[in-house]
Amino acid sequence: MTPERSDRGAVTRPHVGFITESFLDSHGRTFEGGAERHLLSLATVASELGAQVTVYQRSHGNWERIYEGVKVVAQPAPLASLGRVLARRAVADNCTHLHFQYLERVPWGLSGPTLTATSHGIYWDTPYDDKYRAWYPGGRLGGLGLPAWRLHQRNRCLLAVGRCKRVLSVDTSLLRLVQSHRPELRERVEVVMNFTDLADDQGAGPDTPGTDACLQPLLDARRQGHTVVLVPRNLSLVRGGGWLPDLAERAVATLPPGNQCDFFLTGVAVDVYGQAKRYTTLLQRELQSRSEAARASMHLLGGLPHSAMAAAYRASDIVLIPTFACEGTSLAALEAMGLGVPVVATNVGGLNDIVRDGVTGFLVPPDPQALASAVARLAENSELRLRLGAEGRRMVAGAFTREHWRTRAEGFACRAGWASAN
């Protein structure tokens, strides 16, 4: 499908339909996830290049809204056929270009519009570790099916790349995969890493009166002279939830007397296959089997709003990203580094692209002992924390700002055909 023409033959502006699972809730509020913020930024770029933009999302009901100048259309759609159902609606609305916010949602046999997509990183790299079998949906049986699931998802992703004119990848993992298995598609993949503008936040500091009350536990620990370790993760297997009790106990045991670490988990249990309550129960059960010191060091904040995250980072000494699997360009890692906080992370997925080991933090194998050792090393050395934090701030300012992202995103949008020809 090509852009419509007026009676005089002039090309009108393209109409880009963004296809996504979630964007706004039923009350018109945006979800606070990184994928939703990424979609809004990309839709804004398309709009400013002259395209007409509509976001099509899955919902329990039919409704339309305008959010920050972007039209949002919601309708029910089965999750398995979400891409096809919402694409049909977009085609009926005369969209000339369709952009799928998740690469795996690009459907078969869709003719007409130009197709593009975003890849948020490899999401099928979950290994099986029998020590944490209770954390897997289906337990040990679910773990046995992982190899076949990984193969299916990998092939599904590669086929989706073949259906797209271009794919925006937030890290280099998709590019490496395509180069290995479908090198003829190499030129379709453009790596445009995420950005953070949280470092530009000049609002209240962590100790300013009126700061969100949910940060009070961090501030209390800081005033008591404890090392504050922020874990800006939701609770799930892939985000390292199974490691946290063991990690805390190992870190506490490593530190000398008088040097106390407090771990603050900012997120909530993720409802993957109905596992949210189970994840919380597993974490609490594991903590009960640990030492009193380890139990006292772990604090569950129950979900911090994004508006409080800048103050939370500033109140922290270390940011821990204990990823087990499924990680793109971690916004939490970028936000922490942008605010001068050293990061301890696993060498999983897109974390390899942004955390420089020994320079902006520590990048370690996905293992609780390695993570605990890195945390303890930073907890004992305030000068090292300051040095790594300062280098992280410089790196983010030099390569991961909104301005850097926008330049590359505009290039992608123009090559995708979103820019108006008028």
Count of structural domains within the chain: 2
Q: What is the mean pLDDT of residues 18-24?
A: 94
Based on the fold, state whether residues 19 and 119 are members of the same structural domain. Answer: yes
- Which long-range contacts does 27-33 make (Cβ < 8 Å, 24+ apart)? 28/65, 28/67, 30/67, 32/305, 32/306
Based on the fold, state whether residues 181 and 52 are members of the same structural domain. Answer: yes
Based on the fold, state whether residues 130 and 221 are members of the same structural domain. Answer: no
What Å distances lie between residue 90 and 39, 58, 76, 112, 227, CA to CA? 16, 13, 14, 11, 51
Whether 119 is covered by a domain: the verdict is yes
Q: What is the mean pLDDT of residues 154-164?
A: 97
Residue that is written with structure tokens 């519009």 in the block: 113
pLDDT at 85 over 50: yes
| Residues constituting the chain | 422
CB 19 within 8 A of CB 105: yes
- What pLDDT does 245 receive? 95
Structure tokens at 124: 């099928």
Based on the fold, state whether residues 328 and 189 are members of the same structural domain. Answer: no
**Helix extents (H) in 183-303:** 216-223, 244-254, 276-288, 292-297
Based on the fold, state whether residues 244 and 384 are members of the same structural domain. Answer: yes
Q: What is the mean pLDDT of residues 246-255?
A: 94
- What pLDDT does 271 receive? 73
- Residue-range definition of the domain harbouring residue 29: 15-195+402-416
CATH number at residue 116: 3.40.50.2000
Confidence of residue 214 (pLDDT cuts 50, 70, 90): confident
Q: What is the mean pLDDT of residues 176-186?
A: 97
pLDDT at 180 over 70: yes
Q: How many percent of the chain have pLDDT more than 90?
A: 79
pLDDT at 236 over 80: yes
Give the sign of the dihedral formed by CA 140, CA 141, CA 142, CA 146. positive
Based on the fold, state whether residues 214 and 306 are members of the same structural domain. Answer: yes
- What pLDDT does 31 receive? 79
Based on the fold, state whether residues 390 and 407 are members of the same structural domain. Answer: no
Whether 6 is covered by a domain: the verdict is no
Whether 421 is covered by a domain: the verdict is no
Based on the fold, state whether residues 142 and 233 are members of the same structural domain. Answer: no
Residue 118 half-sphere exposure, CB side, CA atoms within 13 Å?
Answer: 27
Confidence of residue 7 (pLDDT cuts 50, 70, 90): very low
Q: How many percent of the chain have pLDDT more than 70?
A: 93
CB 72 within 8 A of CB 66: yes
Supply the mean pLDDT for the chain: 91
CB atoms within 10 A of CB 79: 10
Based on the fold, state whether residues 190 and 218 are members of the same structural domain. Answer: no
- The rounded distance, in Å, linking the Cα atoms of 212 and 232 is 16
Whether 312 is covered by a domain: the verdict is yes
- The rounded distance, in Å, linking the Cα atoms of 283 and 321 is 17
Confidence of residue 201 (pLDDT cuts 50, 70, 90): low
Whether 297 is covered by a domain: the verdict is yes
What Å distances lie between residue 45 and 86, 179, 403, 412, 414, CA to CA? 22, 28, 12, 10, 10
Exposure string of 237-251, with b = 16+ CB inside 10 Å and e = fewer, is bbbbbbbbbbbbbbb
- The rounded distance, in Å, linking the Cα atoms of 378 and 375 is 5
Whether 9 is covered by a domain: the verdict is no
- What pLDDT does 1 receive? 45
User: What is the β-pairing status of strands 15-20 and 343-346?
Assistant: unpaired
Based on the fold, state whether residues 208 and 290 are members of the same structural domain. Answer: yes
Whether 5 is covered by a domain: the verdict is no
- What pLDDT does 210 receive? 40
- What pLDDT does 200 receive? 55
- What pLDDT does 212 receive? 66
Confidence of residue 8 (pLDDT cuts 50, 70, 90): very low
pLDDT at 204 over 50: no
CB atoms within 10 A of CB 267: 19
Question: Dihedral of the CA atoms 284, 286, 289, 293 (nearest 10)?
Answer: -70
Whether 10 is covered by a domain: the verdict is no
Q: What is the pLDDT of residues 290-327, one digit of tens each?
A: 999 999 999 999 888 888 999 999 999 999 999 999 99
Based on the fold, state whether residues 67 and 154 are members of the same structural domain. Answer: yes
Q: What is the pLDDT of residues 338-385, one digit of tens each?
A: 999 999 999 999 999 999 999 999 999 999 999 999 999 999 999 999
Structure tokens at 48: 């400013």
Based on the fold, state whether residues 236 and 220 are members of the same structural domain. Answer: yes
